[in-house]
Amino acid sequence: MKSEKLSTWLPRFVLFGVLVGNFCSSTSSNAQSPLVKNVVIVHGAFADASGWQPVWAELTKHGFVVTLVQNPCTSLKADVDATNVALDKLDGPAILVGHSWGGTVITQAGVHPKVAALVYVNGFQPEVGENTIKLAASAPPKPENGLLPPDEKGNIFYDKAKFHAGFCADVSQKMADFMYASSGYIPVEAFETPVTAAAWKTKPCFGISSNGDKSINPVITLSGYKRSNSTIIRIDGSHVVFMTHPKEVAAVIMAAAVKVSK
């Protein structure tokens, strides 16, 4: 994986082979410079950390120590605080991963001194002073997008009728029904809060953008990734690509670990 063009046309299994091949060769040549072994994952809104189990399995199989942050999705501060608690407990540097809303969270939390690199998975990547709503409105929403307006208490929910097609089109209907039952909500105030730091300005970044993402227009994620000079990876999948293509997502995280370990 050397450029956006490469990752755009390579079949998924070839991309995975290239990334893991690089990972394996680097682990054998880095005896003097140990590979970053910690990974911290921050889930997005309308989800929890359990959907990352397949990626967890791939990473731990390769010797990584993975922490899955159960961020409360109640405010930007609360989610950043939860992420910092996880980072504080680590014994060394980490790759910090954020999905969707979690991208905004890791943008702020990624300035933590233990963060060696950032991996965005269909994630928002705001500039200092920007908020999530501004980014979400920067390109037309897909017709399948089911994000509802704030209710009378200022909370945002995802439309049940659009959840499968808009959030997780490539999982089964049964799984989508379960995911919706546990999707919860997020206060609009969280989306309205601007970040006061942008870790992508000083840390290496990788950005995964799914061609079939209907919850965040890929134009938005790609624009952010290009602005930050992230290494861009395109994968055919839905908003929850980490559930349906865990090997490819894990391979990107491993590639980030290799990059910062050299």
CB atoms within 10 A of CB 99: 29
Confidence category of residue 34, pLDDT binned at 50, 70, 90: low
Establish if 139 belongs to a structural domain.
Answer: yes
Count other C-beta atoms under 10 Å from residue 13's C-beta: 10
Q: Whole-prediction pTM value?
A: 0.89
Residue 30 domain-assigned?
A: no
Which CATH number belongs to the domain containing residue 221 in this structure? 3.40.50.1820
* 92 part of a folded domain: yes
Q: How many domains does the chain have?
A: 1
**pLDDT computed for residue 22 by the predictor:** 52
**Spatial distance between the Cα atoms of 224 and 95, rounded to a whole number of angstroms:** 19
pLDDT tens track for 72-92: 999 999 999 999 999 999 999
Q: Is residue 13 in a domain?
A: yes
pLDDT of residue 189: 98
Q: Which residue type, as a one-letter code, is found at position 163? A: F
pLDDT tens-digit series, residues 82-137: 999 999 999 999 999 999 999 999 999 999 999 999 999 999 999 999 999 999 99
Q: Please tell me the distance from the alpha carbon of residue 92 to that of residue 231, in angstroms, as a whole number.
A: 24
Backbone phi and psi for residue 59, each to the nearest 5 degrees, phi listed first: -70, -45
Mean pLDDT value of segment 28-33: 43
Taking only the tens place, the pLDDT of each residue in 40-66 is 999 999 999 999 999 999 999 999 999
% helix, strand, coil for the chain, step of 5:
45, 15, 40
Residue 116 lies in a domain: yes
Q: Is position 29 within any domain? A: no
Q: Which DSSP helix (H) or strand (E) runs through 151?
A: none
What are the tens digits of pLDDT across the range 200-227? Answer: 999 999 999 999 999 999 999 999 999 9
% of the chain surpassing 90 pLDDT: 86
**Residues 217-261 pLDDT 10s:** 999 999 999 999 999 999 999 999 999 999 999 999 999 999 998
User: Tell me, what's the pLDDT at 35?
Assistant: 85
Q: Note down the domain range covering 150.
A: 4-24+35-261
Tell me if 184 is assigned to some domain. Answer: yes
Task: Give me the DSSP letters along 175-239.
Answer: HHHHHHHT---EEHHHHHPPPS--GGGTS-EEEEEETT-SSS-HHHHHHHHHHTTPEEEEES--T
Q: How far apart (Å, rounded) are the C-alpha atoms in residues 259 and 257?
A: 5
Cβ neighbours, 10 Å, residue 24: 13
Q: How far is CA 212 from CA 4, 6, 174, 242, in A?
A: 17, 19, 20, 13
Residue 239 domain-assigned (yes or no): yes
Residue 131's pLDDT is 98
pLDDT of 169 above 70: yes
**Residue 19 pLDDT > 70, yes or no?**
no
